[in-house]
């Protein structure tokens, strides 16, 4: 039994124990702490354990022979980073649950276990399956414990269900197609390692890669709120209970990107570079950055603003995908982690504020900084990270993406032939304005809420001792990774893009 299997099953077993009557908070906190420490230990020992195939801690139980499906676990550098993100956010999300029904703990654990399974399995069937498992508690929590009137939260839950359900079925069709395409004539196999090897040894012609890549882009993209399939995401995060908002926007949503970067890209390396796919992708990601960015500017409530900003920032990650250079893809991995940590931090604070203040209308808030200096500082960490301030984790990722994308612009297709700039160049230039937009809404929100004169009747206190731990942890990670991105990037040693422009 591999350590990874135990890590995956700890949250499920803990959830089962709570369902059967174990004390909810104790069990959940113990499980998430054990997982956090264990994954950190594994990440530290990871380089020493890597095998020839760049996978560590592999193990495999065969489920079917043809098509070959196995419960196969194994971690490469990227899945190690994603696992770290998962356990970190899980720990914070569970720790900050206070005085809630045990369903909160069970759901958080199930989402966490599903995400870990999706990131640590190397078999397409189980990757897909674990992600689906994590979606069910998300729906239930939004529908039952969501923070809106019953009619409204049900509508949000159904919208999320239908978008994500349809998205994952499109994804399933894409995965099945990929399996048929890359099994190499013989037995079908869902083994991602084998499929990657086959794609590397006998790749499809670029034109043939395009439709499959596009199908996977729509499938995975819907899960990551790619414009124009994004309209479920903002209301879902604004409505979801805090731990679910943290876990879904921070971790589970990254599954779609993980799939695009680790399944679609290695199998179809030229897929995103085929002109029509690239142009479509560039338009969609500009939709994320600019259209959703402008929508975010107009939000009046903190939770709506954070939710929309989370959708908007996905655009940068899709830019990394469209660029397809090694440095941009590596930057995307870093940004996935950084965005997950920063958005979880912001949602955690947002949840506290909602509980204490009862309103998140930015116009009605103000001067919280004078009552709650600690929260103010931590929120600033999250907000500045989210803008992309140097020294915090998101910055390194964004810079790598922009540089990688601009570098590859030279070889990309020319959509608007003006002054030698290609479509990719123009997109980078336009996307950079997203940073400005982020700065405007984040700083404006920060000023409206934390600075100025305190509003009468609204009192916000710093968390009691013990409750600050998850916030400090997340902020510290943002700072550490921001100053030393190599902490994470060194985990990735094999090239991420087959035959990429370095």
Partner 1 sequence: MSVFNLEALLALLGLFVLLLEAFVPSVSSKALAGICMAGVAGVLVLLVTVAGGQDALPAFIGAYHQLDTLAIFYKAFALVITFLVLWLTLEAAPYLSKFTLDGKLGEMFSLPLFVCVGMMWMASAKDLVTVFVSLELVTVSFYVLVAYTRKSALALEAGVKYLILGALSTGVLVFGVAWVYGATGALSFEGITKAVQVGGVNKTALLFGVSFLLAGLGFKVAAVPFQMWVPDVYQGASTPTTVFLSVGSKAAGFAVLTRVIDALTVSGSMVRQEVITVLSIAGAVTVVVGSLPALFQTNVKRLLAYSSISHAGFLLLALAARDSVRVDLAPGGTVAFYLATYLPMTVLGFAALIQMRLNGRGEELDDFKGLAQKSPTLAFLITLAFASLAGLPLTAGFFGKMWVMLGLVDQQLWFALVCAIIGAAAGFYYYFRVILAMFTPEESTEPVRMGALARGVCVVLGCTIIVLGVYPKPLQMLLAKVPVAGKNATGH
Q: Which residues lie near partner 1 (CB under 8 A)?
A: 19, 62-67, 103, 125, 128-129, 132-133, 136, 139-140, 143-144, 157-158, 161-162, 165-166, 169-170, 172-173, 176-177, 179-180, 183, 188
Count the helices and strands in the chain (H runs, E runs): 22, 2
Please, which residues have CB within 8 angstroms of residue 419's CB and are 6 or more apart in sequence?
A: none
Q: How many CB atoms lie within 10 A of CB 30?
A: 15
- The residues that bridge with 421 in the sheet, in sequence order, are 418
Specify the residue for token string 């808030």.
Answer: 365
**In the complex with partner 1, which residue's Cβ is closer, 188 or 487?**
188
Q: How far is the CB of 68 from partner 1 (least distance, A)?
A: 10
Q: How many CB atoms lie within 10 A of CB 373?
A: 12
**In the complex with partner 1, which residue's Cβ is closer, 129 or 194?**
129
Q: How far is the CB of 179 from partner 1 (least distance, A)?
A: 8
**In the complex with partner 1, which residue's Cβ is closer, 256 or 293?**
256
**In the complex with partner 1, which residue's Cβ is closer, 156 or 335?**
156
- Write out the H or E segment, with its range, that includes residue 312: helix 302-323
Q: How far is the CB of 486 from partner 1 (least distance, A)?
A: 37
336 neighbors 260 (Cβ within 8 angstroms) = no
Q: How far is the CB of 397 from partner 1 (least distance, A)?
A: 31
Query: Cα–Cα distance between 455 and 365 in angstroms, integer?
Result: 6
C-alpha separations of 109 from 69, 247, 361 in Å: 26, 10, 31
Query: Cα–Cα distance between 26 and 500 in angstroms, integer?
Result: 48
Q: How far is the CB of 76 from partner 1 (least distance, A)?
A: 23
Q: How far is the CB of 414 from partner 1 (least distance, A)?
A: 32
SS3 of residue 308 by DSSP: helix
Rounded to the nearest 5 percent, the helix, strand and coil shares of the chain are 70, 5, 25
Query: Cα–Cα distance between 40 and 79 in angstroms, integer?
Result: 13
125 neighbors 67 (Cβ within 8 angstroms) = no
**In the complex with partner 1, which residue's Cβ is closer, 139 or 379?**
139
247 neighbors 137 (Cβ within 8 angstroms) = no
Q: How far is the CB of 129 from partner 1 (least distance, A)?
A: 3
**In the complex with partner 1, which residue's Cβ is closer, 68 or 349?**
68
**In the complex with partner 1, which residue's Cβ is closer, 231 or 279?**
231
Q: How far is the CB of 172 from partner 1 (least distance, A)?
A: 6
**In the complex with partner 1, which residue's Cβ is closer, 169 or 294?**
169
């Amino acid at each position: 039994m591999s350590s990874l299997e135990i890590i995956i099953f700890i949250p499920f077993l803990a959830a089962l124990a709570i369902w059967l009557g174990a004390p909810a908070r104790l069990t959940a906190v113990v499980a998430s702490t054990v997982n956090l420490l264990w994954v950190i230990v594994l990440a530290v020992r990871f380089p020493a354990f890597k095998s020839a195939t760049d996978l560590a801690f592999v193990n495999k139980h065969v489920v079917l022979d043809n098509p070959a499906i196995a419960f196969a676990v194994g971690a490469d550098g990227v899945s190690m980073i994603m696992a770290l993100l998962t356990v970190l956010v899980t720990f914070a999300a569970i720790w900050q649950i206070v005085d809630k029904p045990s369903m909160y703990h069970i759901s958080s654990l199930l989402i966490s276990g599903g995400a870990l399974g999706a990131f640590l399995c190397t078999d397409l069937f189980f990757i897909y399956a674990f992600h689906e498992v994590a979606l069910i508690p998300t729906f239930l929590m939004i529908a039952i414990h969501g923070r809106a009137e019953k009619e409204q939260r049900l509508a949000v839950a159904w919208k999320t269900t239908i978008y994500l359900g349809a998205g994952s079925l499109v994804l399933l069709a894409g995965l099945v197609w990929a399996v048929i395409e890359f099994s190499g004539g013989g037995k079908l196999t869902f083994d991602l390692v084998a499929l990657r090897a086959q794609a590397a040894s006998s790749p499809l012609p670029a034109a043939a890669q395009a439709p499959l890549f596009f199908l996977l882009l729509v499938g995975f993209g819907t899960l990551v709120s790619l414009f124009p399939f994004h309209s479920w995401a903002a209301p879902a995060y604004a409505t979801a209970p805090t731990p679910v908002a943290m876990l879904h926007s921070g971790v589970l949503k990254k599954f779609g990107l993980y799939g695009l970067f680790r399944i679609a890209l290695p199998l179809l390396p030229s897929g995103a570079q085929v002109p029509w796919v690239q142009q479509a992708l560039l338009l969609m990601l500009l939709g994320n950055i600019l259209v959703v960015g402008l929508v975010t500017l107009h939000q009046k409530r903190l939770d709506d603003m954070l939710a929309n900003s989370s959708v908007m920032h996905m655009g940068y990650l899709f830019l990394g995908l469209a660029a397809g250079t090694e440095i941009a893809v590596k930057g995307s991995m870093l940004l996935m982690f950084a965005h997950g940590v920063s958005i979880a931090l912001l949602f955690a604070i947002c949840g506290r504020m909602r509980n204490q203040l009862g309103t998140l209308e930015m116009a009605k808030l103000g001067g919280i900084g004078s009552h709650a200096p600690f929260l103010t500082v931590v929120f600033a960490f999250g907000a500045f990270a989210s803008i992309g301030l140097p020294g915090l984790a998101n910055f390194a990722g964004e810079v790598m993406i922009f540089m990688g994308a601009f570098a590859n612009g030279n070889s990309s297709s020319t959509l608007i032939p003006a002054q030698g700039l290609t479509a990719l160049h123009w997109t980078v230039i336009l996307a950079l304005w997203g940073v400005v937009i982020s700065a405007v809404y984040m700083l404006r929100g920060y000023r409206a809420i934390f600075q100025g004169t305190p509003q009468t009747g609204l009192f916000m206190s710093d968390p009691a001792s013990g409750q600050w731990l998850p916030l400090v942890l997340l902020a510290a990670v943002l700072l550490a990774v921001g100053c030393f991105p190599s902490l994470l990037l060194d985990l990735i040693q094999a090239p991420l893009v087959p035959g990429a422009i370095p």
